[in-house]
Amino acid sequence: MRPPTIALAGAVDGGVLRAAGWQVTGALPLTPYDDLADVPSYAGLDDLLADDQLSAVALDGSDPLVARHLPAVLASGRLVLLPGPAPLDPDLLREAREHETEVAVALLQRWEPWALTVAAALQLVGTPVVQATVRGWPRGADAAVELVDLARSWCGDVVSVSAAPAPLPAASLGEGLPVAWSLLHESGATTLVSHEGAPPLVRLSFATARLEAGPLGARWEGGAEIPLLGAPPLQTTEPRPAAPPGTPYGLLASAAALREGVLRGEIATDTWPWPADLGDLQVAGRVLAALRESARAEGPSAVSR
């Protein structure tokens, strides 16, 4: 059977798509000097959309010149892969969500073994998280989106935020690491975030237990190490080339999940993890906007709905 077809728009590595089982049919160049390697180029967006053999588009949402095409691509009925936590422009996301076409957003951390282990541990505890503390988390908007995505899965939706120099629920973590920002969740739990003290380590406190986890491992406080769960198998069984060196597993898995979505008519959400969607991106964008407002106004900021 012929693999589903996908086009590239912006700085997206076609090798990743091929490794996920896609047939890359062409690319939309942004400038006359773009290097498209061995991929044929479309004359423009209209030419791309006129390709009736095209199932999906991998679109670099971090480039505004590319991101602006998102609503038109979705309106054409093509599925979309966003290979990172962008775009976050609220008006663009609102327009894009008017279309019911599937979008797979490759948020990477939810696919990492330590994050999968935390998700499984939450099911074992069976009681809500009272507080989350995060140390050593990388700086930058992309990393913040990733953490908001994880924190929502641990503690529920975010209703309010604070960012230094605004007053924070705690000035520092137990190790004397300064807290940079915090999230208040609808459950009443708080997430406190410090960028200091790498490598990243998350502590989730429950009524009767505390879990520590990060890329280096996981354990219950006072207990033994918890073996990290392995990455789930890719949702494709056909032979495929190896992914380019350094390809994040979450990107490869999201691309494979979107491919299976073409074949079955929807992206599977019956077994965790699955790719993020535009709704997840929209919520994360609102949280980041509230954090910026909190830092500017030097006070707590509610997250818009």
Does one domain contain both 113 and 179?
yes
Strand arrangement of the beta sheet that strand 225-226 belongs to: 225-226, 217-220, 210-214, 201-205, 131-135, 190-193, 181-185, 158-163, 301-302
pLDDT above 80 for 75: yes
Does one domain contain both 164 and 295?
yes
Structure tokens at 217: 């491992």
Say if 276 falls within a structural domain: no
d(CA 254, CA 134): 25
Give the Å distances, CA to CA, from 255 to 126, 128, 251. 32, 32, 6
Does one domain contain both 82 and 15?
yes
Q: What total of structural domains would you count in the chain? A: 2
The helix (H) or strand (E) run that includes residue 15 is helix 14-19
pLDDT in tens, 150-183: 999 999 999 999 999 999 999 999 888 999 999 9
CATH of residue 82's domain is 3.40.50.720
Please name the amino acid found at residue 126: G
Does one domain contain both 242 and 177?
no
DSSP 216-230: TEEEETTSPEEPPPP
pLDDT in tens, 14-39: 999 999 999 999 999 776 555 556 67
Does one domain contain both 113 and 195?
yes
Say if 35 falls within a structural domain: yes
- Domain extent, residue 205, equals 109-230+283-302
CATH of residue 166's domain is 3.30.360.10
| 86-100 average pLDDT score | 97
Does one domain contain both 188 and 96?
no
Does one domain contain both 41 and 148?
no
Does one domain contain both 201 and 156?
yes
